[in-house]
Structure 1
Amino acid sequence: MSKNQFLCSLDIGTTNTRAIVGEFDRDGQINVVGIGQSRSSGLKRGTIIDIDATVKGISEAVEQAERMIGEEIDQVYVGIGGPQTSLLRNRGVVAVQNEDREITDQDIERVMQAAQVLAIPPEREIINIRPITYVVDGYDGIIDPKGMIGVRLEMEALIVTGKATYVQNIKRCVERADLEVGGIVLKGLSSGMLAMNPDERELGCALIDIGGGVTEISIFENDVLRHFVSIPQGGDLVTYDLAHGLKVPYAQAEQIKIVYGAASPEHAGDGSISIESVGASRPVDVPAAELVYYIQPRVEEIFDYIRTELIRAGFQQPPTGGVVLTGGACQLPGLLEIAESKLTTNVRLYRPGQVGVADPSFTASTSLLHYVAGVSPVVPQKKPARKGNSRPVFNKIKSLFSELFG
Structure 2
Amino acid sequence: MSSNDIIVSLDIGTSKVRVIIGEVTNGAINIIGVGSADSEGIRKGAIVDIDQTVQSIRNAVDHAERMVGIEISDVYVGIQGNHIALQTNHGVVAVSNEDREIGEEDIERVLQAAKVVALPPEREIIGLVPKQFLVDGLDGISDPRGMIGVRLEVEATVITGAKTAIHNLMRCVEKAELQISGVILMSLASGQMALTKDEKNMGTVLVDVGAGSCTIAVFDQGNLVGTSTLPVGGEYVTNDISYGLRTQTEQAEKIKLKFGCSLVDDAAEDQKFKVMRMGSNVEKEFTQVDLANIIEPRMQEIFHLVRQEVRRMGFGDKVNGYVLTGGSVSMSGVLPLAQSELEATVRIAVPDYIGVRDPAYTSGVGMIQYVSRYMRVRSGGSPKKSAARKQGPTTSAPSKPGLFERLKNMFSEFI
Structure 2 partner of 1:324: 323
1:217 aligned partner? 216
Other-structure match for 1:125: 124
TM-fit CA distance, 1:258: 0.7
1:344-397 Cα offsets, whole Å, 9 max, x none, are: 11100111000000010000111111111112453357999xxxxxxxxxxxxx
Pairing of 1:166-177 with structure 2 (within 5 A)? 166-177=165-176
Whole-angstrom distance in 2 between the partners of 1:206 and 1:28: 28
The Cα shift of 1:108 comes to 0.7
Q: How many angstroms apart in 2 are the aligned matches of 1:383 and 1:59?
A: 15
Report whether the alignment pairs 1:89 with 2:94.
no
TM-score, scaled to structure 2? 0.90
Match of 1:391 in 2: none
Q: Is the 2:72–2:388 Cα contact (8 Å) retained in structure 1? A: no
Using a 3 Å threshold, how does the CA distance of structure 1 residues 316 and 2 change in structure 2: closer, same or farther? closer
Letter of the structure 2 residue corresponding to residue 56 of structure 1: Q
Q: 1:382 to 1:198 in 2, by over 3 A?
A: closer
SS of the counterpart of 1:17? strand
Matched with 2:98 is 99
Letter in 1 for 2:296: Q
Aligned residue runs from structure 1 range 362-381, under 5 A: 362-377=361-376, 378-380=383-385
1:192 match: 191
> 1:41: how far off?
1.4
Which digits, 9 at most, give the CA deviation of each residue in 1:279-313, with x for residues without a partner?
Answer: 02411111221011211111011011100111112
Aligned equivalents of 1:243 and 1:192: distance in 2? Answer: 33
Q: Which residue of 2 aligns with 1:38?
A: 37
Tell me, yes or no, if the aligned pair for 2:75 and 2:386 is still in contact at 8 Å.
no
* Range with greater deviation from structure 2 (40-49 or 82-91): 82-91
Other-structure match for 1:228: 227
1:271 lines up with 2:239 in the alignment: no
Give the match's secondary structure for 1:184.
strand
Q: What is the match of residue 396 of structure 2?
A: none
Task: Tell me, yes or no, if the aligned pair for 1:318 and 1:343 is still in contact at 8 Å.
Answer: no
CA contact (8 A) 2:259 2:288 kept: yes
Aligned counterparts of 2:337 and 2:313: Cα–Cα separation in 1? 21
Per-residue CA deviations over 1:212-264 (Å, capped at 9, x if unaligned) read 00111111111000111111010000000001111111110001011111111
Q: Return the structure number with greater relative CO, CA threshold 8 A, min gap 6.
A: 2
The answer on whether the counterparts of 2:50 and 2:172 sit within 8 Å (CA) in structure 1 is yes
The one-character-per-residue Cα deviations of 1:127-150 (angstroms, maximum 9, x if unpaired) are: 111111011111111111112121
SS in structure 2 opposite 1:10?
strand
Q: Map of 1:14-29 to 2, 5 A cutoff? A: 14-25=14-25, 27-29=26-28
Report the 3-state secondary structure (helix = DSSP H, G, I; strand = E; otherwise coil) of the residue aligned with 1:91. strand
Shift of 1:95: 1.1
Q: Is the 8 A contact 1:182 1:379 kept in 2?
A: no
Structure 2 distance, partners of 1:289, 1:343, is 23
Q: Does 1:59 align with 2:64?
A: no
Partner of 1:356: 355
For residues 329 and 358 of structure 1, what CA distance do their matches in structure 2 show?
A: 14
How far off is 1:4 after superposition? 4.4
CA contact (8 A) 1:207 1:218 kept: yes
Aligned to 1:387: none
Structure 2: 5+ residue stretches without partners? 377-382, 390-406
**AA of the residue aligned to 1:71:** I
* Kept after mapping to 2: 8 A contact 1:3/1:72: no
**CA shift in 2, pair 1:381/1:358, >3 Å:** closer
Tell me the amino acid that sits aligned with residue 23 of structure 1: E
Match of 2:143 in 1: 144
Q: Partners in 2 of 1:123 and 1:186 — Cα distance? A: 18
Q: How do 1:275-314 and structure 2 match up within 5 A?
A: 275-314=275-314
Q: 1:104 to 1:31 in 2, by over 3 A?
A: same
User: Are the equivalent residues in 1 in contact too, given 2:102–2:144 (CA < 8 A)?
Assistant: yes
Relative distance call for 1:141 and 1:318 in structure 2 (3 A) is closer
Name the aligned partner's letter for residue 59 of structure 2. E
Rounded to whole Å, the distance in 2 between the matches of 1:48 and 1:305 is: 24
Secondary structure in 2 aligned to 1:127? strand
CA contact (8 A) 2:74 2:180 kept: yes
Matched-pair contact (CA < 8 Å) for 1:37–1:61: yes
Alpha carbons of structure 1 residues 96 and 355: separation in structure 2 relative to 1, 3 Å:
same
| 1:238-257 equivalences in 2 (<5 Å) | 238-257=237-256
What is the alpha-carbon distance in structure 2 between the residues aligned to residue 318 and residue 103 of structure 1?
36
Q: How many percent identity over aligned positions?
A: 44
TM superposition score normalised by structure 1: 0.92
Name segments (4+ residues, structure 1) moved above 4 Å: 380-384
| Alignment check: 8 A CA contact 1:37 1:64 kept | yes
- Within 1, Cα distance between the matches of 2:27 and 2:203? 31
Matched AA of 1:206: V
Offset of residue 316 of structure 1: 2.8
In 2, the alpha carbon distance for the partners of 1:144 and 1:271 equals 56
CA contact (8 A) 2:74 2:386 kept: no
Return the alpha-carbon distance in structure 2 between the equivalents of residues 383 and 214 of structure 1: 31
SS, match of residue 189 in structure 2: helix
Q: Distance in 2 between matches of 1:248 and 1:110?
A: 59
Runs of 5+ unmatched residues, structure 1: 385-401
Amino acid corresponding to residue 193 of structure 1 in structure 2: Q
Q: Give the match's secondary structure for 2:143.
A: coil
Distance in 2 between the 1:73 and 1:48 partners? 23
**Alignment partners' CA distance in 2, 1:252 and 1:86:** 38
Task: Supply the AA of the counterpart residue of 1:325.
Answer: L
